[in-house]
Amino acid sequence: MNADHRDSKQTSEASSDNENNLPRHVAIIMDGNGRWAQARGMPRVEGHRRGVHSVRMVSETCTELGIEAVTLFCLSSENWKRPKEELDFLMQLLEQYLVEERDLIMKQGLRLKTIGRRDRLPDNVLKEMDKTLEMSAGNRGTQLVLAIDYGGRDEIARAARSICEDVRAARIEPAEINEQTIAGRLDTSGLP
Ligand code: IPE
Ligand code: MG
C-alpha cells in the first residue's frame, strides 16, 4: 500500500474507514517491557529494545489499515523517577529509533508528531527528533504520534500558560476563552 492510499480514500464520502468501522485514531500505552524481559531471564532494558519491533509492527499495520493517527505513549512525565541507567538507555534507544526508522517512516509515508515536554530531553534526542519531524512533515500517511515526557496535566498547564500570556498581551479577552481556545493549544491539536 502506498502513502497516497489514505488521500484517495478521503476523497470519497463513504471512506472505507467508516465502512469497516475502524477508529480514526488509535492510542497505545506501552507497558510491561521490563516484566516481559525479566520473565524470560533478560534484563529489563532488553524488553525496551524488543519493544521497538512492536512499534514498527504497529506503525506498519496502521498504515495498511489507513488509520489516520496512532499515538504511542513512550515516556510519561512520571517515568523520570526511574533509575538513571534505565533513563539513559531509553534516551539512547529513542535517539537510535529516530535515526534508524527514518527510511521506513519515509517509505511508509508516516508523518511524525511528538507530544509532551521538550525541555527535559537531551539535545542529541531533540536534534534527531527535529530532523525526522521535518523530513516527514510533508508525508500524507498515518500520523505517528510519539508521546515523550507527556503528562495530561502538564499539557493543560502549558495551554493555560500560553492563554494567560495572550491575555496579558491583550491579544484575547478572558471572556473570549472557549473550548476551541484550549483545544488549539493542546499538544493534541489537529489530531482526530
Ligand atoms: C513500558 O514498559 C516502557 C516505558 C514506559 C518506557 P515498562 O518499563 O513500564 O515495563 P514494566 O511495566 O515495568 O514491566
Ligand atoms: Mg510499567
Residues in CB range of 135: below 8 A, 6 or more apart: 102, 105, 106
For the segment 56-108, what is each residue's pLDDT rounded down to a tens digit? Answer: 999 999 999 999 999 999 999 999 999 999 999 999 999 999 999 999 999 99
Tell the residue number behind the cell numbers 529513542, with chain if given. 94
- pTM of the entire predicted model: 0.86
Verify whether ligand 1 is closer than 6 Å to residue 75 (CB atom): yes
Residue 21: predicted pLDDT: 87
Alpha carbon 167 to chain centroid, angstroms:
30
Residue 11: pLDDT over 90 = no
Question: Is 20 designated active site?
Answer: no
Q: How much distance in Å is there from the Cα of 107 to the middle of ligand 1? A: 29
CA distance 138 to 86: 34
Residue 129 has phi, psi (to 5 degrees) of -60, -50
Q: Which atom of ligand 1 is nearest to the CA of 36?
A: 14
The percentage of the chain sitting over the pLDDT mark of 90, rounded to a whole number, equals 88
What's the grid cell of residue 93?
A: 534507544
CA distance 115 to 52: 18
How many CB atoms are located within 10 Å of the residue 142 CB? Answer: 27
Verify whether ligand 1 is closer than 6 Å to residue 151 (CB atom): no
- Average pLDDT of the residues of the chain: 91
Verify whether ligand 1 is closer than 6 Å to residue 94 (CB atom): no
What are the distances in angstroms from CA 1 to CA 111, 135, 178? 16, 20, 41
Question: Is 187 designated active site?
Answer: no
Q: Give the pLDDT band (50/70/90) at residue 9.
A: very low
Tell me the mean pLDDT in the region 162-191. 96
The percentage of the chain sitting over the pLDDT mark of 70, rounded to a whole number, equals 90
Verify whether ligand 1 is closer than 6 Å to residue 42 (CB atom): no
Verify whether ligand 1 is closer than 6 Å to residue 4 (CB atom): no
Q: Give the pLDDT band (50/70/90) at residue 118.
A: very high
For the segment 29-39, what is each residue's pLDDT rounded down to a tens digit? Answer: 999 999 999 99
CA end-to-end span of the chain: 22
Ligand 1 pocket check: which of 28, 35, 52 to mutate, most ligand atoms within 8 Å of Cβ?
Answer: 35
Q: How much distance in Å is there from the Cα of 30 to the middle of ligand 2? A: 8
Sheet holding 25-29, edge to edge: 25-29, 69-76, 143-150, 111-115
What's the grid cell of residue 29?
A: 500505552
Selection from 133, 175, 181 nearest residue 156 by Cα? 181
